[in-house]
Amino acid sequence: MALDDPAPPRDLADLRARIDAIDAEMHGLLIRRSEIIDQLISVKRIAETGAAFRPAREAAMMHALVDRHRGHLPLVTVEHVWREIISTFTWLQAPYTVHVATGDAAETRDVARFYFGFTVPFETVDQPVDAVAAVARSTSDLAVVRLGEAAEPWWLDLSAEDARPRVIGRLPFIGVVPRPVATPAVVVSMPLKDPVSPEVHVFAGRGPADAASHASLADLRAEVLAWHAPWGNHTGAVGAELVIAVPADGREPSAVAAGLVEAARDRCGVILAELRPIGGYAAPIAYPAP
């Protein structure tokens, strides 16, 4: 019986046989995929060295996954399976380690495992700044860093303009509600070999620490991802260290930063200072689409 035979199944044994056939076909397709990856590895060994990460391509694959999904199978399950496949095959092309800081939040390890699976080696460090430092010592490693208020500003050594670590991804990528792993985080790496202009620019800078000011920036489509307030929420107008994400809309980082500083001051009464680019990422997917 063909897998797509519309005839009704005769009994439970028939259903199980059809499932077994599908499982065998899925396994065979994974083996075929790995054979193509073997060829890709041979080509890349001749053409290039370094990390195999392609965040823009991975984002395109996730968009395609969402577009073709249907039925009762939870999308988050399919996302996890695909993330395991993508991360493992990337690791086969160019081995890497994921550095995860759990000193402030054990949930960070959960979100990292969801996206990078159980084949890729993990190294647990105490604080986010340690994870970033480990990436800086590598050529292809990643760090997954939890967002929100930070005990210390782990982003100070990031830069999108020289050979230092930078933000390359945002987690979760597909906004499914509810989802089992929803801890907000970013992915940090050294510069990629063939970067693509991001859909969202990420900046480090200074500004206020209070939640009301952060909420007002959201009206400008700017999101405060992380902040460090050395004297608490009563830190002065530009006394807190901030990480801010802003849609690129096809603009260069300098234009985005200048526009945000002006709009924050004139429309929200919020002072932002010393904004500098520290990376960017593909815009996360809202599911279902608004």
254: CATH: 3.30.70
Q: Is position 287 within any domain?
A: no
Which of the listed residues 192, 222, 250 is the one where a domain comes to its end? 192
Q: Read off the pLDDT of each residue in 133-157 and give the average, rounded to a whole number.
A: 95
Contact 260, 271 (CB under 8 A): no
pTM (whole model) above 0.85: yes
94 and 77 co-located in one domain: yes
Q: Is position 257 within any domain?
A: yes
82 and 188 co-located in one domain: yes
Q: Is position 5 within any domain?
A: no
Q: Read off the pLDDT of each residue in 271-287 and give the average, rounded to a whole number.
A: 95
169 and 78 co-located in one domain: yes
60 and 184 co-located in one domain: yes
Q: Read off the pLDDT of each residue in 269-277 and give the average, rounded to a whole number.
A: 95
146 and 78 co-located in one domain: yes
**In the predicted structure, residue 227 carries a pLDDT above the cut 90:** yes
For residue 239, name the pLDDT band (cuts at 50, 70, 90): confident
107 and 140 co-located in one domain: yes
Q: Is position 3 within any domain?
A: no
- 25 phi, psi to nearest 5 deg: -65, -40
Write out the residue range of the structural domain in which residue 40 sits: 11-47
164 and 208 co-located in one domain: no
Q: Is position 1 within any domain?
A: no
AA letter at 265:
R
Tally the C-alpha atoms within 13 A of residue 31's C-alpha that lie toward its C-beta.
6
* pLDDT of the residue at 275: 97
Structural domains in the chain (count): 3
Which of the listed residues 162, 192, 222 is the one where a domain comes to its end? 192
76 and 129 co-located in one domain: yes
**In the predicted structure, residue 1 carries a pLDDT above the cut 50:** no
Q: Read off the pLDDT of each residue in 135-152 and give the average, rounded to a whole number.
A: 94
Q: Which residues contact 103 (CB under 8 A, 6 or more apart)?
A: 125, 126, 127
80 and 153 co-located in one domain: yes
81 and 180 co-located in one domain: yes
183 and 256 co-located in one domain: no
Q: Is position 2 within any domain?
A: no
Q: Read off the pLDDT of each residue in 65-94 and give the average, rounded to a whole number.
A: 93
Name beta bridge partners: 244.
Answer: 203, 224
Which of the listed residues 151, 166, 192 is the one where a domain comes to its end? 192
AA letter at 132:
V
Q: Which of 23-32, 51-60, 122-131, 212-221 has the lowest mean pLDDT?
A: 51-60
Q: Is position 237 within any domain?
A: yes
Mean pLDDT rounded to a whole number for the chain: 90
* pLDDT of the residue at 237: 67
Per-residue pLDDT tens digits for 147-206: 999 999 999 999 999 899 999 999 999 998 888 889 999 999 999 877 789 999 999 999
Q: Is position 290 within any domain?
A: no
* pLDDT of the residue at 33: 94
183 and 62 co-located in one domain: yes
